[in-house]
């Protein structure tokens, strides 16, 4: 590619996957207001602007409180479709070829929404987008770790009858929500069951929680990929293991900044990890809340950490390697990265 092309265009041209995005975290304030009106839900904010202004977070929990409140406008299958389609269109514009999307059924079933409604709306958008553009997606059904393991089992059991209809895209299981005080061991049995059922496994660990939560996510839950994992840096032996075993970390730089996991992007450990050989990837997490989609995250760290274009291509390549795509598709996408990086 012509080296004079600007950095933003270069980033968007790189074929990428996005591996750490919560679909409920893509709900933009404008759509929250539109859905609230459509569904006669009253919101405690006078305007889109007032809602956006409330997005000043001090830690993970301060964000989660607003995130669950925002999701309360999602009622119908069409609502889940509209939210997912809006995300997929943004991702496509950013050069995302494949997304692995987390969703939290418990956020909705606890409000009386049927789990089928959640699956159906999200999956219909995924299929429409794939037919229209070739952008593929997999779904990672995630358990809320502030709730009990029993509740996670109930969710799994409620979802399993849907596997026949959605098993081609619902490939994995995740673990999210409040990390501190909710260690991986709490979900050991349900993750074991999911493993027996043949699901791919990921888990949030080492975002706010300590490095040993990352170890436990690997050893107790058998997570194949760690969401965030930035606090692994506190344990050099763990970092060595991540390098040796090429365990992917799905890092979300703007999320880390907004949730005060780092106080300055220039101090983010992503570049150190990358240069040491950790399989780090860049993702948006909850883009509607954290001020940017995946290309914005690449651009922000490219500037703050002075990443070279080759390093940006390496990050795109890592995102393909770390995905759950079949090897043939990975090879084709990686060849496209190489062609652009030259």
Rule CB under 6 A: say whether 25 interacts with ligand HPA: yes
CB-wise, 259 or 302, nearer to Zn ion? 259
What does the alpha-carbon distance between residue 305 and residue 332 come to, in Å, rounded to a whole number? Answer: 29
CB-wise, 22 or 108, nearer to Zn ion? 22
- In the region spanning residues 271 to 300, those forming contacts with Zn ion, defined by CB under 5 A, are 285
3-state SS, the chain, equals CCCCCCHHHHHHHCCEEEEEEEHHHHCCHHHHHHHHHHCCCCCCCCCHHHHHHCCCCCCHHHHHHHHHHHHHHCCCHHHHHHHHHHHHHHHHHCCEEEEEEEECHHHHHCCCCCHHHHHHHHHHHHHHHHHHHCCEEEEEEEEECCCCHHHHHHHHHHHHHHHHHHCCCEEEEEEECCCCCCCHHHHHHHHHHHHHCCCEEEEEECCCCCHHHHHHHHHCCCCCEEEECHHHHHCHHHHHHHHHHCCCEEECHHHHHHCCCCCCHHHCCHHHHHHHCCCEEECCECHHHHCCCHHHHHHHHHHHCCCCHHHHHHHHHHHHHCCCCCHHHHHHHHHHHHHHHC
- In the region spanning residues 223 to 262, those forming contacts with ligand HPA, defined by CB under 6 A, are 255
List 28, 100, 207, 216, residue binding ligand HPA (CB under 6 A): 207
What does the alpha-carbon distance between residue 330 and residue 328 come to, in Å, rounded to a whole number? Answer: 5
What does the alpha-carbon distance between residue 177 and residue 38 come to, in Å, rounded to a whole number? Answer: 28
| In the complex, minimum distance from the CB of residue 260 to ligand HPA, in angstroms, rounded to a whole number | 12
Q: Which of Zn ion, ligand HPA, none does residue 98 bind to, with CB < 5 to 8 Å depending on kind?
A: none
Q: Which of ligand HPA, Zn ion, none does residue 208 bind to, with CB < 5 to 8 Å depending on kind?
A: none
Rule CB under 6 A: say whether 216 interacts with ligand HPA: no
**Interface map 234-273 toward Zn ion (x if CB under 5 A):** ----------------------------------------
Q: Which of Zn ion, ligand HPA, none does residue 174 bind to, with CB < 5 to 8 Å depending on kind?
A: none
Report which of 309, 250, 313 is spatially closest to residue 16, judged by C-alpha positions.
313
Neighbour count for residue 309 (Cβ, 10 Å): 17
Rule CB under 5 A: say whether 79 interacts with Zn ion: no
CB-wise, 45 or 68, nearer to ligand HPA? 68
Place of tokens 């001020």: 291
CB-wise, 22 or 212, nearer to ligand HPA? 22
User: Residues 18, 28, 179, 207: which is the catalytic one?
Assistant: 207
List 28, 79, 176, 296, residue binding ligand HPA (CB under 6 A): 176
Rule CB under 6 A: say whether 204 interacts with ligand HPA: yes
Rule CB under 6 A: say whether 317 interacts with ligand HPA: no
| In the complex, minimum distance from the CB of residue 21 to Zn ion, in angstroms, rounded to a whole number | 8
CB-wise, 281 or 314, nearer to ligand HPA? 281
| In the complex, minimum distance from the CB of residue 39 to ligand HPA, in angstroms, rounded to a whole number | 22
| In the complex, minimum distance from the CB of residue 172 to Zn ion, in angstroms, rounded to a whole number | 14
Rule CB under 6 A: say whether 319 interacts with ligand HPA: no
Contact 54, 203 (CB under 8 A): no
List 60, 162, 221, 274, residue binding ligand HPA (CB under 6 A): 60
Rule CB under 5 A: say whether 100 interacts with Zn ion: no
Asked about 34 being catalytic, the answer comes back as no
Q: Which residues are catalytic?
A: 207
* Site residues, ligand HPA (CB under 6 A): 22, 25, 60, 67, 176-177, 204, 207, 255, 285-286
């Amino acid at each position: 590619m012509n080296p004079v092309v600007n950095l933003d265009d270069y980033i968007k041209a790189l074929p990428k996957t996005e591996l750490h995005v919560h679909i409920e975290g893509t709900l933009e304030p404008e759509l929250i207001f539109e859905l609230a009106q459509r569904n006669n839900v009253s919101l405690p904010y006078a305007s889109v602007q007032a809602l956006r202004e409330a997005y000043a977070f001090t830690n993970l929990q301060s964000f989660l409180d607003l995130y669950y409140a925002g999701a309360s406008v999602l009622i119908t299958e069409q609502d889940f479709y509209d939210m997912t389609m809006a995300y997929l269109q943004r991702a496509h514009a950013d050069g995302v070829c494949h997304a692995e999307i987390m969703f939290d059924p418990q956020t909705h079933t606890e409000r009386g929404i049927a789990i089928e409604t959640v699956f159906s709306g999200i999956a219909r958008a995924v299929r429409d987008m794939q037919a229209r553009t070739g952008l593929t997606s997999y779904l990672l059904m995630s358990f809320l770790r502030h709730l009990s393991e029993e509740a996670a089992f109930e969710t799994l059991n409620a979802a399993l009858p849907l596997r026949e209809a959605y098993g081609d895209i619902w490939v994995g299981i995740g673990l999210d929500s409040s990390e501190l005080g909710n260690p991986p061991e709490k979900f050991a049995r349900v993750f074991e069951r999911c493993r027996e059922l043949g699901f791919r496994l990921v888990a949030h660990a080492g975002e706010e929680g300590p490095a040993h939560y990352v170890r436990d996510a690997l050893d107790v839950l058998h997570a194949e990929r760690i969401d965030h994992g930035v606090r692994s840096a506190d344990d050099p032996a763990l970092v060595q293991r991540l390098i040796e075993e090429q365990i992917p970390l799905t890092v979300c730089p703007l999320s880390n900044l907004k949730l005060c996991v780092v106080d300055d992007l220039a101090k983010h450990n992503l570049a150190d990890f990358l240069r040491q050989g950790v399989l780090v990837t860049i993702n948006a997490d909850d883009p509607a809340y954290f001020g940017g989609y995946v290309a914005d995250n690449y651009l922000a760290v490219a500037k703050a950490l002075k990443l070279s274009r080759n390093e940006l291509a390496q990050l795109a390549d890592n995102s393909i390697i770390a995905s759950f795509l079949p090897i043939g598709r990975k090879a084709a996408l990686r060849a496209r990265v190489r062609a652009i990086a030259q």
